[in-house]
Structures are given as C-alpha cells and as structure tokens.
Amino acid sequence: MKKTIGLFALAFIVLTACGPSSRVSEPEDVSDQVMDILEDLDDMSKEDFRDAFMTYDEMQDLAEDTDVITDKDARKRLKKMKESELKKDMDKGFARILEKGSELKIKWADIEFVDFEYEVEKRRGMKACGGMVTFKSGKKKYNMRSVSIYDGSGYCLVSLGGPYEVRD
C-alpha cells in the first residue's frame, strides 16, 4: 500500500513539475499565459512571478533529455546554470517589468489583449517559441516579448521582457 501511494505521489509530482501556469500545449496559447501573468502583476509577489516560469529543477531535467535537446553544448549550458542565478535573474526581470509599467502608467488589471505574433524555431538543438504579445492600456498599445522552451510535452515560459510602447 505504501508503495502504491509513493508511486502515485511521484507520478503527481512529475506530471505537475511544469504545471498548468508554466506550461501550455500549443505555441499560440503562450499569449493567454502571458496575459494571465500581466493582468495579475499588481497583486503578484516575486515568488508568484517565478512560479509562472520553468523551474530550475525542470531545466536540469531537460538538460538530461537528449531526445528533446539534441545539442550537447545547449545541454551543458543548462547544466551549468545555478539556481541562485536563475532566481536573481527572474527577480530582476519582475522588478524591471513593474518599474517600466509604472513609468508608462500601465494599469495591469485593466489591460486588453490585442495580438500575438510568434515563431517556433529549433536552435541549438532545442525547440523554442519566441513571441510578441501586444496589449492596450488606456489608448496606448504595448508589446511584451516572451520565450518558451518545448520540454517534450508543452511550452514552458522561460523569459518575459518589456513592456515597450508601440509607436504607430
């Protein structure tokens, strides 16, 4: 009985490792994921922000998967990454988005989706989706850049940058 419970718990952890907030099935779904993050920024902690992205452990597991990441150097770079550096980079990114949003007077809870352009590419032996989400705040439009890596079963968010005002 203990063995069955242990196996169930392990399966649950593996299946939810890159959970619903950090993985989407299709590249076009990245826009919904990004918009969910942006709309909640006013009330989000840096820990909540980090939870929306691929975790350090997920990256390390991915670095071991030669079927998903075929380039040896790419796997090596992922393995070299330190967890403290990843958290520090995520926290800086979160602070930059909040600061820039404040400068631009963006009301995150009131933003409206406009468009999502993306491209799926295979570089350095891994499949990634680079995208640009366009949204409105008031009468102005803004862009956010995103990068998601395919982990074998979905796209996990690894980077979010912006906002950048769209000049017509």
Contact 111, 38 (CB under 8 A): yes
Mean pLDDT, residues 136-162 taken together: 95
Comparing CA positions, the residue from 56, 51, 57 lying closest to residue 14 is 57
Q: pTM for the complete prediction? A: 0.83
Per-residue pLDDT, 48? 95
Q: Which residue has the higher pLDDT, 123 or 19?
A: 123
Domain positions in the chain are: 25-165
For residue 168, what pLDDT band results from cuts at 50, 70 and 90?
A: confident
Mean pLDDT, residues 143-159 taken together: 95
Q: Which residue has the higher pLDDT, 12 or 132?
A: 132
**What are the tens digits of pLDDT across the range 77-123?**
989 999 999 999 999 999 999 999 999 999 999 999 999 999 999 98
Q: Using alpha carbons only, how large is the chain's radius of gyration in Å?
A: 17
Full DSSP string of 28-61:
GGHHHHHHHHHHTGGG--HHHHHHTS--HHHHHH
Q: Which residue has the higher pLDDT, 116 or 153?
A: 116
Comparing CA positions, the residue from 81, 54, 82 lying closest to residue 68 is 54
Per-residue pLDDT, 49? 96
> Whole-number mean pLDDT of the chain?
87
